[in-house]
Structure 1
Amino acid sequence: MYWINGQQQDALAASDRGLQFGDGCFTTARVVEGKIDLLPWHLERLQHAARCLLLSEVDWVSVEREMQHAADSIPLGVVKVILTRGSGGRGYSSLGCENPTRIVSCSTYPKQYHQWREEGIKLALSPIQLARSPLLAGLKHLNRLEQVLIRTHLDQTDAHEALVLDTTGMLVECCAANLFWRKGRDIFTPSLEHAGVAGVMRRKVMVLLTATEYRLHHVSEPLETLADADEVLVCNSLMPLLPVNTAQSWRYRSRQLYDFLRVHC
C-alpha cells in the first residue's frame, strides 16, 4: 500500500525528480505491533540526508504522522519512506522545486530473516565495487544502481548476502546490510568516509558496544582481514542482526558477539 503526500495512491508524476534523477533519499523501518522500531533515528537519518542533499521545505510533521499511520495495526512488517525533491526545475537545475514529494509504503516482513537468524548465512564477494564519493558517503540516497547490480550478481550464487569492496579494494558493507567482525575483544566495522550507507541498526550496535568491554574500531581494511576473524555479523533495520557462517572460504563458528547483541536488537 502506498501514500503519496498523504493520499493513498500509487501514481507518481513522470516529472518527479526522484524518477528523473534519483534526487532524494529514503529509509526502511521494521514495524512490531504497530510501532516503528527506532523511529527517531529513522527520522534523523532522513533529516540528515535532506540537509546534505539541500532538500528543503520537507514537512517533517507529516512525514512522521504518515509513517505512524502506515504502521497502525501491523503486527510485524515494514514501513518505507521516500523523499524526493518533487517536480520542477529544468535539466539538473532544482530552481523552482518547492514541494518535496513524500512517499510512504508498508509491506510484509521478509520471512527468510527468521530462518537466517537461527541458521546463519553465507557471504560471497561481489564483482561490483562501490565508487568512492565522500560527498554522498553514508547517505541512503535514491541512486542505488550499484546495489541493483550487486543484487543481480548475488542472485546468481547460493550466497545470502554479498561482501562489497570499494574501488580501492577496501571492505565497505554488504548489498543491503552493514558489516561487523570480531577478533577477541576487538570489534571492527568499515569506515564509511568514502562509500556505503550508515545504517540505523549499525548505529544501534555501535551504541550498545560503548558500554561493554569490547573495543570498537572503524577501519579501512581489505577482504583478507576476515580470514582470521573469530566472528562476522551483518545487520540492517529489518534483519536486524544475522550471524555469518561462511565468507568466501572462511568459516566462523563463534556466536559470542551475536548472542550478546541479539537480546537488545
Structure 2
Amino acid sequence: MLTWVDGLPAGDVPVTDRGLAYGDGLFETIAVRAGRPRLLERHLRRLSEGRTRLGMACDEALIESELLAFCSVLGDGVVKLILTRGDGLRGYAPPVGGQARRILQGGALPAYPLANAERGVSLYSCRTRLAEQPALAGLKHLNRLEQVLARSEWQDPAFAEGLMRDVSGRVIEGVFSNLFMARLGRLVTADLSRCGVAGVMRAEVLAIAQAAGISVEVRDIAYEELLQADEIFLCNSLYGVWPVIRLEERDWPVGPLTRKLQALVCDVLGS
C-alpha cells in the first residue's frame, strides 16, 4: 500500500492524532484510473462541506494538489483520503489554531465479482440501526462503528451488501453504498437529513437521471414500500451500480431503469 502523511511517504501517525482518539475527521474513497481520480469535484465538494461543518482548518488547494500528485504515482486503483483534526491533548475540546492532518492511502481496486453488476445481488437486512444526528448527517466522517456492527452480522458470501435502516425503521442506505428504488418509472432515494452518508455516486446518479428526463424524488422510504418497489439498485463510487434481486423473501428481476442508469454510470467511471 502506498501511503503519504502530510505530503510525505510515511507509514504511521502520532498516537496523539484526534482521528485515532475520537474519530475526529473525514474521509473519501476515490477510484483512480490512468492516474486520474474519478468524480473528483464531487469528492472535494463533500470533503469541503464536511470540513466546514466540523470546523476543521486546512488548505483545500494543498489537499487537491497532493491528491492529484498521489494519483499520478498510483496509476490505477483506489485512494483513501483521510483528513483528521491533527494532534491534540487529552479531552474533547478541539485545539485552538491546529491544522488538519492529511493522509493518503493507495491500493488496488476491490475485486468485486462481475456477477454483482451483471446478474444482481442479494441484500441482507441488518439489525443494527443508524442513530439520528442531523449535525453529522450526510458526512463521511471517521465514526463508522454502526457500519462495523452491521457488517459483522453476516458472513455468508451470498449477500453482497446489507440494508441499513434508522431507529424508526426507515430505509436509509447500504452498509457501504446508497440505495435507490424505482416505482412506476419514478426513481426514489432516501432523505439523508437525519443520518446516512450522502455518497458522491448517489449525487451523480441523481444528476444523470434528471439529465435523462427520469423523474426523481428524495424522501423517506418505509421498509414495506421498498418491498413493493419495481426495481432496486445500489451504488457507490468504486463499483458503480449493482441491481438488487433479492431481499428477505422478495425477488426482483433486473429492471430496465437500473440497466439504463448502470450504463450511464459506467461511462462516467470509464469502466
By the TM > 0.5 criterion, same fold?
yes
Partner residue of 1:242? 242
Partner residue of 1:12? 13
After superposition, where does 1:90-109 map in structure 2 within 5 Å? 90-109=90-109
Q: Give the deviation of 1:75 after TM superposition.
A: 5.1
- For the pair 1:52 / 2:53, whether they are aligned, the reply is yes
Q: Give the deviation of 1:61 after TM superposition.
A: 2.1
Between stretches 225-234 and 68-77, larger displacement belongs to 68-77
Deviations 1:68-105 (A, max 9, x none): 22222545310110000001244011133512100011
Q: Give the deviation of 1:178 after TM superposition.
A: 0.2
- For the pair 1:21 / 2:22, whether they are aligned, the reply is yes
Instruction: Calculate the TM-score normalised by the size of structure 2.
Output: 0.93
CA distance in 2 between partners of 1:73 and 1:176 (Å): 27
3-state SS, counterpart of residue 128 of structure 2: coil
Between stretches 91-100 and 201-210, larger displacement belongs to 91-100
Look up the equivalent residue of 2:42 and give its one-letter code: W
**Contact 1:205–1:261 under 8 Å retained in 2:** yes
Deviations 1:93-149 (A, max 9, x none): 113351210001111111115331112111010010000011100000010000111
Partner residue of 1:37? 38
Deviations 1:12-44 (A, max 9, x none): 100000001000101101111211101111111
Partner residue of 1:203? 203
Deviations 1:171-191 (A, max 9, x none): 000100000010121111010
Q: Give the deviation of 1:254 after TM superposition.
A: 3.3
Gaps of 5+ in 1: none
Query: How many residues are paired up?
Result: 264
Percent of pairs with identical residues: 35
After superposition, where does 1:1-265 map in structure 2 within 5 Å? 1-56=2-57, 58-72=58-72, 74=74, 76-155=76-155, 158-265=158-265
Deviations 1:204-230 (A, max 9, x none): 000011123421111212211122211
**Contact 1:29–1:42 under 8 Å retained in 2:** yes
Between stretches 1-10 and 104-113, larger displacement belongs to 104-113
CA distance in 1 between partners of 2:183 and 2:33 (Å): 33
CA distance in 1 between partners of 2:95 and 2:102 (Å): 19
**Contact 2:120–2:254 under 8 Å retained in 1:** no
Between stretches 131-140 and 222-231, larger displacement belongs to 222-231
**Contact 2:202–2:236 under 8 Å retained in 1:** yes
**RMSD value over aligned CA atoms?**
1.5
CA distance in 1 between partners of 2:94 and 2:81 (Å): 21
Gaps of 5+ in 2: 266-271
